[in-house]
Structure 1
Amino acid sequence: MNGPEIHLSIAPELHLFVAAERRGGRTPLTTDGASTLGHAVESLGIPLTEVGQLVVDGREVPFSHIPAAGESVDVRPKERPQKVPGAPLRFLLDVHLGTLARRLRLLGVDAAYFSEDVGDAALAAYSARDRRVLLSRDRGLLRRRELWAGAYIYSDRPDDQLADVLGRFTPPLAPWTRCTACNGDLKDATKEAVSAFLEGGTQRSYDVFAQCTACDRVYWRGAHHAHLEKIVEDAVSAFGNATSQAR
């Protein structure tokens, strides 16, 4: 049965989630008279992780608000930078965001990641248990009620993805302090201490090493260091808030 009709205005930042006919001006939406305004917004394809405010006839209302006939609703995006309750700020990335996970770790940002698809339910439960912000391009995953917090990744390009996360959440940066393979902490290591992990050419060519305290992986300034250094320099220059230490 049809319920009250309301009128929504969707902020331009959220237009990619909705049908073209809802991207201009205020458009009507027929509700069922019982569901929340949050549910109505989600039904249009907008993850609530991306909604900052719902403003009804000039006043902010919670997602649990039950719409009444004739209400005018402004759906606004999250403000940036976005504040996340609690500390420390930690992330969880789904299986499709491996490159982003490694780049966040390169910058010292705590970013948990599974290289295999463990399923939406497991990811949502992990987010809730460890209070991690789930990053994903899967709108369905971001709609799961178990989530502690989440954010949609708007681009499929790693450079843009990294800039999006750093600009949105402004996590503190500590480059070269975290293992890009497992997310563990790095410690300085002598060549003698890690010699068993090194090939002969590496032992002869390098003298400065770090080792992961969790998985024992060894790091040195190898052939790809210049590329990684560029990623770090660009991120620190654009978003600051970093304590850098050379590797």
Structure 2
Amino acid sequence: MSHPEAEKRFAADAMLGRLARWLRVLGFDTVHIPDVDDHDLVALADREGRILLTRDRHLVTYLRPRNSLLLQSLSPHEQLLEVAEACGIGMAEDLFTRCMVCNTELRQATEQEVATLVPDKARARPGPFLRCPGCGRVYWPGSHTRRMRRVLETLFPD
């Protein structure tokens, strides 16, 4: 990762799926398992040294994870700012290094994968083309990533 704080790892509870995706865009290893039991989520976060992100006061008070952050906001963008302030993180030089869906680190797609998995219109773009070894998704810079970059540049102007 291009910034040392990327070593921070997170576990997002069931209600924080959109926040988890934004943290993954920034390059942070962020586990999000929507149907996991709260006790199992706390055990996973503690075992793997992750910061547990939640809006559930009960989870923090009664299950007492080792390292947690109780978020206040309902907005994923504001939640991201809460995490950034509390954990001292910011925007990385290299965005989109993890799969937004399954959290696996992305790798460069092969020419064969680009030829068979990327639509013709997107293939004409300069790339890079990245592939998730976990779930097989292919990523490339397009309008979606440009919009996401603009959002992040607004949230993290420095």
TM over 0.5: yes
**Per-residue deviation at 1:117?**
2.4
Q: Which residue of 1 aligns with 2:138?
A: 218
Provide, for residues 26-75 of structure 1, a one-character-per-residue CA deviation record: whole Å limited to 9, x for no partner.
xxxxxxxxxxxxxxxxxxxxxxxxxxxxxxxxxxxxxxxxxxxxxxxxxx
Q: Which residue of 2 aligns with 1:154?
A: 72
| Partner of residue 180 from structure 1, selected from 88, 95, 100 | 100
Indicate the structure whose relative CO is greater, using CA pairs within 8 Å and at least 6 residues apart: 2
**Per-residue deviation at 1:191?**
4.0
Q: Which residue of 1 aligns with 2:58?
A: 140
| Partner of residue 230 from structure 1, selected from 139, 150, 153 | 150
**Per-residue deviation at 1:235?**
4.4
Q: Does 1:100 pair with 2:14?
A: no
| Partner of residue 40 from structure 2, selected from 122, 134, 145 | 122
Q: Is the 8 A contact 2:130 2:138 kept in 1?
A: yes
| Partner of residue 30 from structure 2, selected from 93, 107, 111 | 111
Provide, for residues 145-173 of structure 1, a one-character-per-residue CA deviation record: whole Å limited to 9, x for no partner.
45221111110011111111011102363
Distance 2:64 2:153 in 1: 37
Letter in 2 for 1:123: L
Structure 2: runs of 5 or more not aligned: 1-5
Distance 2:131 2:45 in 1: 28
SS at match of 2:20: helix
Distance 1:157 1:135 in 2: 14
TM-score after normalising by structure 2: 0.82
Structure 1: runs of 5 or more not aligned: 1-86, 239-247
Distance 1:195 1:216 in 2: 14
| Partner of residue 85 from structure 2, selected from 167, 183, 186 | 167
Distance 1:96 1:194 in 2: 34
Provide, for residues 192-239 of structure 1, a one-character-per-residue CA deviation record: whole Å limited to 9, x for no partner.
333332334433x4341111233221101233122111133234434x
Aligned length: 150
> Identity, % of aligned pairs?
34
Q: Is the 8 A contact 1:179 1:186 kept in 2?
A: yes
- Larger Rg over CA atoms: 1
Q: Does 1:189 pair with 2:109?
A: yes
**Per-residue deviation at 1:122?**
0.9
In 2 relative to 1, CA 150–117 (structure 1 residues): closer, same or farther, beyond 3 Å?
A: same
Distance 1:189 1:162 in 2: 29
Q: Is the 8 A contact 2:39 2:63 kept in 1?
A: no
Which one has a larger percent helix, Structure 1 or Structure 2? 2
Letter in 1 for 2:97: T
TM-score after normalising by structure 1: 0.55
